[in-house]
Chain A
Amino acid sequence: MSGHHPHPGPPDSEDGSWTREQLMAAAVEALLVRKRVFTPADVAGALDYWASRTPADGARLIARCWTDDAFAARVMDSVNAGAVELGLDIGHTRVVAVANTPKIHNVLVCTLCSCYPIRLLGDSPGWYKSRAYRSRVVREPRAVLSEFGLDIPDDVDVRVHDSTADLRYIVVPMQPTGTEHLTEQELAGLVTRDCMIGTALPRYIPA
């Protein structure tokens, strides 16, 4: 990947203005390099690594769960072990799968900060980190899901997971009906980031 700046700069500040925190970030990075806590190459490597993390990895895992019941069972036991089977490097932070069923819809939040399985799904969306989402989804999940266009029927229980400590979560949505003929890759294409947070469901519209 190209495009790394060898020196920190204010890349988007066309008018020459920048925030104090932006300056502080550049200064902290420069000081850590000078103090030999890490090298510029370490930073470049980390930028590459984190740019490579996307929801596509999580979607692959979900599609495999849909097509392989034994794999799905192993994922319910340990997402980390399932990811290794797919050749994904998601590190040692424990990721727990919570599966939607015809009777339970799961949705994720971290009210205290914004914990998220970034090695499996990439960056969390801005709204996931927002005060409004963090405050409201634990108290009025159905209203929040409605705002996302998801109306959960009364006979389906909503289960909110507040990720407060050492575990991270991924929602395993149900496979949409009428998709049994699709390949694993095509199935993965139905699984969006929000499906794995629980604010959306996979949709299949036949061609």
Chain B
Amino acid sequence: MDSRRHHDMGGLDAGPIDQHEVADEPWHKRVKAVVQLLVRNPDSPMNVDELRRGIEDLPPEDYDRLGYYERWTRSTAAILTEKGVFSEAELDAEMAEIEQRWQRNGPS
């Protein structure tokens, strides 16, 4: 069967375009900086095409629910785990530690 993948949306019906300008949050800018550092360095563990594959491989409901830089984040974590840069356990532990710090100190 001719299967169209979820991200490959050219020509599909969709509603009006929301032209509202929304400024990126500071953490979005950090994600952009980190990902660009990775994909523009030929020696880094992730290239831009892997980043795109990781975004395309998100479950469709996540692809639609998440914002642009949230999708980048999920893909980057998945690709770097796949590449063995860090393990899922390391990522989970780091997230837990940061969450504790954020809960203690509040927004910095």
* A–B direct contact (CB < 8 Å): yes
Within 8 A of A (CB), among B26-58: 26-27, 29-34, 36-38, 40, 44-45, 52, 55
In the complex, which residue of chain A has the Cβ closest to the Cβ of B87?
A31
> A147 CA to B94 CA in the complex, in Å?
45
B59 contacts chain A at the CB level, 8 A cutoff: no
A24-B95, A127-B17, A131-B14 known; A47+B9 contact, CB < 8 A: no
Which residue of chain A has its CB nearest to the CB of B32?
A50
Q: Kindly identify which residue among A10, A26, A47, A148 contacts B19, using a CB–CB cutoff of 8 Å.
A: A148
B95 touches A10 (CB 8 A): no
| Cβ contacts under 8 Å, A77 to chain B | none
Closest-CB distance, A139 to chain B (whole angstroms): 4
Inter-subunit contact A135/B13 (CB<8 Å): yes
| Contact indicator B33/A43 (Cβ below 8 Å) | yes
Q: Which residues of B contact A8 (CB under 8 A)?
A: 27, 30, 98
A150 at the interface (CB under 8 A from B): no
Whether B44 contacts A37 by the Cβ 8 Å rule is yes
Contact B18 A127 (CB under 8 A): yes
* Contact status B64-A131, CB under 8 Å: yes
Assess A37 versus B17: contact at CB under 8 Å? Given A30-B94, A111-B8: no
Set A9, A51, A111: member contacting B9, Cβ < 8 A: A111
Say which size band chain B's interface belongs to: 35 or more
> Which chain A residues border B37 with CB–CB below 8 Å?
38, 42-43, 46
Query: C-beta contact mask, A25-54 vs B, less than 8 Å → 1, else 0?
Result: 111111110010110001100110011000
State whether the Cβ of A18 lies closer than 8 Å to any Cβ in chain B.
Answer: yes
In whole Å, how far is A144's beta carbon from the nearest beta carbon of chain B?
7
| B16 close to A132 (CB less than 8 A) | yes
Which one, A30, A47, A112, contacts B29 given CB within 8 A? A47
Q: Give A125-152 as 1s and 0s: 1 = Cβ < 8 Å from B's Cβ atoms.
A: 1110111111110110000100110000
B57 to chain A, nearest CB (A): 13
Interface residues on A, range: 35 or more
Task: For the complex, give the distance between the alpha carbons of A136 and B18 in Å.
Answer: 13
Q: Which residues of chain B come closer than 8 Å to A23, judged between CB atoms?
A: 95, 98-99, 102
Provide the A1-27 mask, 1 if CB < 8 A to any CB of B, else 0. 000010111111110101111111111
* A-B residue pairs, 10 tightest by C-beta: A111-B10, A9-B108, A46-B33, A27-B94, A21-B70, A135-B14, A132-B14, A135-B12, A11-B26, A27-B95
Interface CB pairs A-B, < 8 A, 5: A10-B102, A30-B98, A31-B85, A46-B37, A132-B14
Binding site for B on A (CB under 8 A): 5, 7-14, 16, 18-32, 35, 37-38, 42-43, 46-47, 50-51, 91, 109, 111-114, 123, 125-127, 129-136, 138-139, 144, 147-148, 162
